[in-house]
Amino acid sequence: MVKKKYVLKKGVVLRPYGVNSLLDNSNLTDSIAELMIKKGRADLSDFIQHKQIKKSK
């Protein structure tokens, strides 16, 4: 299974289409997350940031 790039932080949900709409980690895909960020309905800070760790050689 491919690991999702965008995972909402605990307690964060998005309501991009009004109070009766709901996006959480159960129905949020990476493409929808990117669309929400592009449209200004979500912020990068809503998501868990995966830091890339560089290993020293």
Given 1, 2, 3, 18, the residue binding another protein (CB under 8 A): 18
Chain centre distance of CA 42: 8
Minimum distance of another protein from residue 35's CB (angstroms) = 5
* Close Cβ partners of 47 (under 8 Å, ≥ 6 residues apart): 6, 7, 8, 9, 33
Q: Does 32 bind another protein (CB under 8 A)?
A: yes
Distance between CA atoms of residues 36 and 44, nearest Å: 10
Q: Does 40 bind another protein (CB under 8 A)?
A: yes
**Chain contacts with another protein (rule: CB under 8 A):** 14-18, 20-23, 27-29, 31-32, 35-36, 39-41
